[in-house]
């Protein structure tokens, strides 16, 4: 899942046009392209035709051929078709710092030939784009990691801290054979000072490079089941005590309710930084006003009304997503149910949200229960080594682009790592068009120029974070 947080709303942002660094060409780039092509052409969907292990094995073979120690390369997992690749590149003798984990997922969302304009598992370059399932989510990142580690190895680079590469299964669903499994069963293999993951990256619109997001936090997903039961009866003899009316009146109260505005380090930084590239001065002022220690309620209300994403960033949200009731046209309903989907701010307990729902629905006949168990995910601190590396690199490669910390309103594999006390940052130098997000969709693609810029960005980032000063 690649979640572009700003999504459609960066129309509101305007910065001077930036000429991004020219795409590099050379042996490393042709290798990056070759690895990318290989990964895209291996079907890694969670279907009978898909096999993540094949992609993991193909990558393991490349790493071994490049001279990485076979003892430090593992393909492992509980499902033979969903192997995870883990490589440890050991630091020189004087390593004083803990490892960095480079994480990307190999599995992709299903893509059917009949839904696409061409075969989703044939890597295609056309009109300045690379096409194929996984080109944006998340095989570009995986290929960039592999190509850069091979290049660094070839150049004689020795990291001053261990570098761990984990290319994983089951991010897009499945049965927890990926990061979750690694954390529970082989934490020693992937434990790190911090991790770099998907979920962040560059945003552009009509060729203009706007922002480079660092994803440092995610909201928590929790469904609630609402249910009203009633003895029912003949519809020719209605009574006031009606299951559908109880539920719908409660839902109407929920519709009018808003959870309180509550910002954290990441979302405060998001509004502060976004204000600096905001075209509309009133909106910029509102962003600064909500970023204060005590957010201005009027500014928060205006931002919430203007942009759904801003609303979702500022507060926990709960929304009715399904509704069912009754069993016959001529019978009083014996049951009415609804699903309410909540996206909870990190640090807020799901139990407290349930209590709040009960209070807002304000009807003892509406029974509220959890659907599944939430996976809490605590925000990663905006540590200065990581942020300053991204800032300086962005400044060098993409002048004028503003680095913005973000909290995703959905979830990625980052949550399993964050729960395992590995701070995780979505960092990606590959820019994508805000109006053309095709991850999980038809004719998925990544810009050719942007892909190679991403290779270059990541190469320099790894050297900055794991190189000798």
Find the Cα–Cα–Cα–Cα dihedral 200, 204, 210, 215, rounded to 10°.
-10
Shortest distance (Å) from residue 109 CB to Zn ion: 9
If we measure between CA atoms, which residue out of 342, 405, 293, 292 comes closest to residue 6? 405
Shortest distance (Å) from residue 55 CB to Zn ion: 14
Q: How far apart are CA 296 and CA 148, in angstroms?
A: 45
DSSP string, 417-448: HHHTT--EEE----EEETT---TTSTT-EEEH
Nearer to Zn ion, 1 or 147 (CB): 1
Helix (H) or strand (E) holding 124: strand 124-126
Shortest distance (Å) from residue 186 CB to Zn ion: 21
Nearer to Zn ion, 46 or 198 (CB): 198
Q: How far apart are CA 18 and CA 241, in angstroms?
A: 63
Shortest distance (Å) from residue 199 CB to Zn ion: 8
Structure tokens at 260: 């309180």
Nearer to Zn ion, 168 or 274 (CB): 168
Shortest distance (Å) from residue 2 CB to Zn ion: 5
Shortest distance (Å) from residue 397 CB to Zn ion: 23
For 307-311, the CB contacts below 8 A with 24+ separation are 307/9, 307/12, 309/5, 309/6, 309/7, 309/9, 309/409, 310/9
Q: Which residues bind Zn ion (CB under 5 A)?
A: 1-2, 137-138, 198
Nearer to Zn ion, 208 or 418 (CB): 418
Please give the distance of CA 454 from its chain centroid, rounded to a whole number: 17
The residue length of the chain stands at: 469
Nearer to Zn ion, 109 or 289 (CB): 109
Residues forming beta bridges with residue 74, ordered by sequence position: 86
Nearer to Zn ion, 198 or 428 (CB): 198
Nearer to Zn ion, 20 or 141 (CB): 141
Nearer to Zn ion, 204 or 439 (CB): 439
DSSP string, 257-293: --PPP---HHHHHHHHHHHHTBSSHHHHHHHHHHTSS
Shortest distance (Å) from residue 273 CB to Zn ion: 24
Identify whether 138 is preceded by a cis peptide bond (ω within 30 of 0). Answer: yes
Nearer to Zn ion, 137 or 286 (CB): 137
Q: How far is CA 174 from CA 136, 168, 171, 209, 429, in A?
A: 20, 12, 8, 35, 28
Shortest distance (Å) from residue 137 CB to Zn ion: 4
Shortest distance (Å) from residue 415 CB to Zn ion: 13
Shortest distance (Å) from residue 138 CB to Zn ion: 4
Q: How many CA atoms lie within 13 A of 70 on its CB side?
A: 3
Q: How far apart are CA 204 and CA 437, in angstroms?
A: 11
Residues forming beta bridges with residue 224, ordered by sequence position: 340, 370
Q: Return the number of other C-beta atoms located less than 10 Å from residue 277's C-beta.
A: 19
Nearer to Zn ion, 100 or 141 (CB): 141
Find the Cα–Cα–Cα–Cα dihedral 10, 12, 17, 19, rounded to 10°.
-10
Q: How far is CA 410 from CA 24, 313, 366, 406, in A?
A: 34, 11, 27, 11
Shortest distance (Å) from residue 254 CB to Zn ion: 31
Nearer to Zn ion, 198 or 286 (CB): 198
Nearer to Zn ion, 302 or 438 (CB): 438
Shortest distance (Å) from residue 190 CB to Zn ion: 17
Q: How far is CA 263 from CA 159, 260, 308, 387, 405, in A?
A: 37, 10, 16, 19, 13
């Amino acid at each position: 899942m690649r979640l572009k947080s700003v999504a459609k709303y960066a129309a509101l942002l305007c910065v001077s046009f930036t000429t991004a660094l020219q795409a590099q060409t050379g042996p490393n780039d042709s290798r990056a392209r070759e690895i990318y092509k290989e990964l895209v052409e291996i079907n890694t969907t969670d279907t009978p035709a898909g096999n993540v292990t094949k992609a993991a094995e193909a990558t393991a073979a490349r790493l071994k051929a490049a001279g990485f120690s076979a003892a430090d390369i593992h393909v492992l997992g509980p499902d033979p078709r969903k192997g995870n690749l883990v490589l440890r590149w050991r630091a020189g003798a004087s390593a004083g710092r803990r490892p960095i984990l480079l994480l990307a997922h190999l599995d992709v969302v299903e893509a059917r030939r009949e839904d696409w304009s061409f075969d989703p598992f044939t890597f295609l370059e056309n009109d300045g784009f690379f096409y194929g399932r996984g080109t944006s989510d998340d095989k570009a990142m995986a290929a960039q990691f592999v190509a850069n580690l091979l290049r660094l190895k070839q150049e004689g680079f020795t990291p001053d801290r261990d570098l761990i590469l984990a290319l994983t299964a089951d991010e897009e669903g499945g049965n927890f054979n990926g990061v979750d499994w690694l954390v529970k069963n082989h934490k020693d293999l992937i434990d790190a000072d911090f991790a770099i993951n998907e979920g962040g990256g560059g945003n552009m619109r009509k060729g203009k490079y706007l922002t480079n997001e660092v994803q440092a936090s995610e909201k928590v997903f929790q469904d609630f089941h609402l249910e009203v039961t009633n003895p029912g009866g003949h519809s020719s003899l209605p009574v006031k005590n009606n299951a559908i009316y109880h539920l719908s009146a409660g839902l109407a109260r929920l519709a009018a309710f808003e959870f309180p505005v509550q910002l954290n380090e990441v979302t405060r930084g998001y509004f502060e930084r976004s204000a600096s590239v905001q075209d509309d001065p009133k909106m910029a002022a509102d962003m600064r006003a909500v970023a204060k220690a005590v957010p201005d309620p009027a500014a928060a209300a205006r931002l919430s009304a203007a942009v759904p994403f801003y609303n979702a960033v500022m507060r926990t949200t709960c929304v009715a997503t399904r509704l069912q009731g009754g069993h016959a046209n001529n019978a009083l309903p014996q049951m009415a149910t609804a699903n309410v989907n909540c996206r909870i701010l990190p640090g807020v307990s799901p139990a407290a949200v349930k209590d709040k729902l009960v209070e807002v629905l304000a009807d003892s006949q509406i029974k509220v229960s959890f659907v599944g168990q939430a996976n809490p995910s605590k925000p990663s601190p905006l540590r200065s080594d990581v942020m300053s590396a991204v800032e300086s690199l962005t400044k060098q490669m993409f002048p004028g682009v503003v680095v913005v910390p973000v909290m995703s309103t959905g979830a990625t594999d980052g949550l399993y790592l964050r729960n395992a006390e590995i701070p995780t940052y979505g960092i990606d130098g590959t820019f994508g068009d805000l109006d053309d997000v095709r991850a999980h969709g038809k004719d998925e693609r990544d810009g050719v120029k942007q892909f190679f810029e991403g290779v270059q960005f990541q190469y320099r980032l790894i050297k900055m974070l794991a190189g000798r000063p």
